[in-house]
């Protein structure tokens, strides 16, 4: 136990595959991972299928055996382990999401990211229906759309409708739990958990090469895991459930042997020209390696087809610059040729990568070659992440955990934290378009307030990179308010004229029509309304809009017939009389006496006007804090105040505020003694 003092420096990595488990122990020396000991063990029974643990106890027994062998060789006690989840568990989904935007707004980076975030959230909700809690480990954009048409880049454009189609990859939390269960049974504490394709790419494609668009394929027994690199990051992950086992099964069926014997035949394809075996009948047989290659060729072609399709899907429909193959299936005869044909790449750009190409590792045994790449990647990821398979950050006061699969941004935190991406995009208030006296007008809504993102108190954006323990605060966008235009907002000239018609008092003031119907000053104007504001000042306008019963009538003032163009004045006494023979002298006499003796009805009107004259009253009110006395009328309405105060109503100076005793008032609101009035422009 002489090395126990350095136990904290030791890295123990396990690659748990469908057919085998490989355990590797090493230390970091001179900035490289130096392998001390390894142990390779094939499952005695099929405890795993397609990379998925089917029998936890059987897998735990194999892990325990490897652990004991390594402890015995190194004379140490292993208590911590670094592991990886198979690509088999990754859930990949393609979704398309769209957003409506203001047509005159330029599309910026934040709007594009919000669109992508909306699509990721949609994808997560789809997968969650079957899988429960998830971690998003990557996504890539397949296409952008502007007003329904494909476009390579939305940035800087203008339009009314944007959309994106993405492919997103998720890891179910239940998978993590099952792997942890195996480790708990053998008294190993997991200090690092990654994904097998991440581990493989960590080993084979160092950071300096990730600006290139490369594909890595780890062809195992049950699955072929795929990772794509571009723009200095791992942009997408995926898998196909076709791999080495399909080849083994083809051999088993053609040679009439069990699965394990078929595995041995497969391993000897490139080692022996003639392969001997015993079939299920107990008969000894032999077969040439060329015959075996012919048997497996259709299967290899099919596997290559599916791998190539998935690479194109994950890479947005584009061919990568090169493809690296690792894993036991990388040596399958014909697989390089078929992948190069299907991806239309030169065969020299399809390369098998083994341990010898891993710059950051020093190995004693190179015999495992491509089979032993992933386990070294698991160790390298563990060293890089310093024992943390998840990172925790704080989002608006709540802790959010992210699977350490790549460099994370605030956008990733929002996805994991369940933030609705629509909260990042404020919408301006909708403008209301209408016609005012035949002229097109627009009532503008208020502008939206943009979302604000802060990282540790400093202004950031959703593309800002985050690290363990950082604090993210997001102040969500606020929508602008829709306008509430009212008729009164567009009345430029306020006035009130009282006069008598046949001894009945009338008040004329501006009148509004909405779509041909009379409306009050408080009426709201809606989209598409036709609004007419009429200043009734002449007798003709009065007859047209108020005194509809004017057919065959003539109008007189002091015995003089009035034309329609006559401007009605305060206090006028006008009489309308049917167009019959009229005693003008008698009419003048009646005017002078302020009474009319023509019919019984006019006698009643005379009595009425005398009553009105006798009941004229005075009221005292306050306008904008000043006291006023209103005289000369029986009743007073709000608009009468403009005869007593100086206020420019010929032009609009903002929003007109009219209040009576603290409540909103209209022009024809009646006034009474003691009222308190407020009338002003508000900017």
User: ∠ CA(339), CA(344), CA(350), 5° rounding?
Assistant: 45
pTM of the complete model beyond 0.85: no
Averaged pLDDT score across all residues of the chain = 82
- Residue 359: predicted pLDDT: 83
Domain boundary among 589, 614, 639: 614
User: Does residue 106 lie in a domain region?
Assistant: no
SS3 625: coil
SS3 per-residue string spanning 158-174 = ECCEEEEEEEEEEEEHH
Mean pLDDT of 639-653: 73
406 and 357, same structural domain?
Answer: no
- Residue 609: predicted pLDDT: 35
pLDDT in tens, 278-323: 999 999 999 999 999 999 999 999 999 999 999 998 898 899 999 9
409 and 346, same structural domain?
Answer: no
Q: What's the DSSP call for residue 263?
A: H
Low-confidence winner among 394-398, 543-547, 604-608, 635-639 (lowest mean pLDDT): 604-608
- Residue 258: predicted pLDDT: 92
User: Does residue 32 lie in a domain region?
Assistant: yes
Boundaries of domain holding 286 = 4-89+174-385
Low-confidence winner among 21-35, 81-95, 151-165, 608-622 (lowest mean pLDDT): 608-622
Percentage of residues in the chain having pLDDT higher than 90:
24
User: Does residue 376 lie in a domain region?
Assistant: yes
The residue with greater pLDDT, 441 or 193, is 441
199 and 53, same structural domain?
Answer: yes
- Residue 222: predicted pLDDT: 80
595 and 468, same structural domain?
Answer: no
CB neighbour list of residue 85: distance below 8 Å, 6 or more residues apart: 171, 175, 176, 179, 193, 194, 195, 196
Q: Are 441 and 433 in contact (CB under 8 A)?
A: yes
CB neighbour list of residue 51: distance below 8 Å, 6 or more residues apart: 17, 18, 86, 87, 88, 89, 196, 220, 222, 223
* Count: domains in the chain: 4
User: Does residue 165 lie in a domain region?
Assistant: no
Does the pLDDT at position 389 exceed 80? no
640 and 503, same structural domain?
Answer: no
402 and 344, same structural domain?
Answer: no
Instruction: Give burial (CB, 10 Å; 0-12/13-18/19+) of 427.
Output: middle
The residue with greater pLDDT, 211 or 146, is 146
322 and 197, same structural domain?
Answer: yes
Q: How confident is the model at residue 257 (pLDDT cuts 50, 70, 90)?
A: very high
332 and 296, same structural domain?
Answer: yes
User: Does residue 598 lie in a domain region?
Assistant: yes
User: Does residue 461 lie in a domain region?
Assistant: yes
Mean pLDDT of 157-173: 84
User: Does residue 111 lie in a domain region?
Assistant: no
67 and 23, same structural domain?
Answer: yes
pLDDT in tens, 418-441: 787 778 888 888 899 999 988 999
SS3 373: helix
CATH number at residue 34: 3.30.420.40
pLDDT in tens, 327-336: 888 889 999 9
> To which residue do tokens 């800002």 refer?
464
Strand pairing report for 471-475 and 91-100: unpaired
CATH number at residue 625: 3.10.20.30
307 and 411, same structural domain?
Answer: no
Q: How confident is the model at residue 138 (pLDDT cuts 50, 70, 90)?
A: low
User: Does residue 258 lie in a domain region?
Assistant: yes
191 and 311, same structural domain?
Answer: yes
532 and 475, same structural domain?
Answer: no
Q: Which two tokens stand for residue 345?
A: 């790449």
């Amino acid at each position: 136990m002489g090395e126990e003092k350095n136990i904290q420096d030791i890295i123990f990595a396990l690659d748990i595959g469908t057919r085998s488990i490989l355990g590797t122990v090493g230390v970091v020396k001179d900035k490289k991972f130096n392998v001390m000991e390894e142990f390779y063990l094939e499952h005695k029974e099929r405890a795993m299928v397609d990379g998925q643990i089917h029998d936890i106890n059987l897998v735990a027994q194999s892990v325990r055996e490897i652990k004991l062998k390594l402890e015995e060789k190194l004379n140490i006690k292993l208590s911590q382990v670094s592991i990886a989840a198979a690509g088999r568990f990754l859930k990949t989904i393609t979704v398309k999401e769209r957003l409506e935007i203001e047509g005159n707004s330029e599309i910026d980076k934040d709007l594009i990211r919000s669109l992508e975030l909306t699509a990721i959230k949609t994808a997560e909700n789809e997968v969650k229906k079957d899988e429960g809690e998830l971690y998003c480990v990557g996504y890539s954009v397949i296409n952008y759309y502007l007003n329904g048409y494909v476009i390579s880049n939305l940035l800087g454009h203008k339009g009314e409708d944007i959309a994106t189609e993405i492919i997103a990859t998720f890891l179910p939390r239940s998978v993590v739990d099952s792997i942890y269960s195996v480790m708990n049974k053998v008294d190993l504490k997991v200090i690092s958990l990654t994904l097998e394709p991440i581990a493989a790419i960590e080993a084979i494609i160092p950071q300096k090469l990730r600006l290139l668009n490369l594909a890595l394929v780890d062809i195992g027994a049950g699955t072929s895991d795929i990772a794509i690199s571009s723009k200095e990051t791992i942009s997408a992950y995926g898998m196909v459930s076709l791999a080495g086992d399909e080849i083994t099964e083809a051999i088993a069926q053609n040679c009439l042997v069990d699965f394990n014997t078929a595995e041995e035949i497969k391993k000897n394809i490139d080692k022996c020209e003639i392969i001997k075996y015993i079939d299920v009948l107990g008969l000894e047989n032999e077969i040439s390696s060329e015959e075996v290659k012919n048997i497996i060729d259709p299967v290899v072609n099919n596997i290559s087809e599916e791998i190539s399709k998935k690479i194109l899907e994950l890479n947005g429909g584009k061919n990568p610059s090169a493809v690296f193959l690792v894993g036991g299936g990388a040596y399958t005869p014909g697989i390089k040729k078929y992948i190069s044909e299907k991806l239309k790449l030169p065969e020299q750009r399809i390369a098998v990568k083994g341990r010898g190409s891993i710059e950051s590792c020093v190995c004693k045994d190179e015999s495992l070659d491509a089979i032993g790449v992933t386990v070294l990647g698991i160790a390298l990821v563990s060293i890089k992440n310093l024992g943390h398979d998840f990172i925790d950050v704080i989002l608006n006061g709540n802790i959010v955990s992210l699977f350490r699969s790549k460099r994370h941004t605030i956008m990733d935190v929002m996805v994991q934290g369940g933030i609705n991406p629509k909260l990042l995009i404020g919408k301006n208030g909708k403008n209301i378009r209408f016609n005012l006296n035949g002229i097109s007008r627009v009532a503008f809504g208020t502008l939206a307030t943009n979302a604000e993102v802060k990282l540790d108190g400093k202004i950031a954006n959703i593309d800002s990179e985050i690290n363990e323990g950082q604090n993210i605060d997001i102040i969500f966008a606020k929508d602008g308010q829709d306008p509430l235009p009212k008729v009164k907002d567009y009345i430029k000239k306020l006035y009130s004229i009282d006069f008598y018609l046949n001894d009945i008092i009338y008040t004329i003031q501006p009148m509004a029509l909405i779509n041909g119907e009379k409306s009050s000053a408080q009426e709201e104007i809606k989209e598409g309304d036709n609004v007419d504001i009429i200043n009734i000042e002449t007798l003709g306008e009065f007859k047209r809009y108020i005194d509809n019963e004017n057919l065959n009538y003539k109008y007189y003032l002091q015995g003089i017939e009035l034309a329609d163009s006559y401007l009605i004045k305060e206090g006028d006494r006008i009489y309308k009389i049917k167009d019959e023979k009229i005693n003008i002298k008698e009419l003048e006499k009646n005017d002078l006496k302020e009474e009319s003796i023509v019919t019984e009805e006019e006698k009643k009107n005379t009595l009425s006007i005398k009553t009105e004259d006798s009941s004229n009253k005075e009221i005292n009110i306050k306008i904008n804090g000043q006291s006023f006395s209103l005289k000369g009328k029986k009743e007073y309405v709000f608009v009468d105040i403009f005869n007593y105060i100086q206020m420019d109503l010929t032009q609009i100076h903002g929003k007109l505020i009219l209040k009576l005793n603290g409540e909103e008032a209209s022009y024809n609101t009646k006034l009474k003694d003691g009222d308190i009035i407020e009338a002003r422009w508000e900017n």
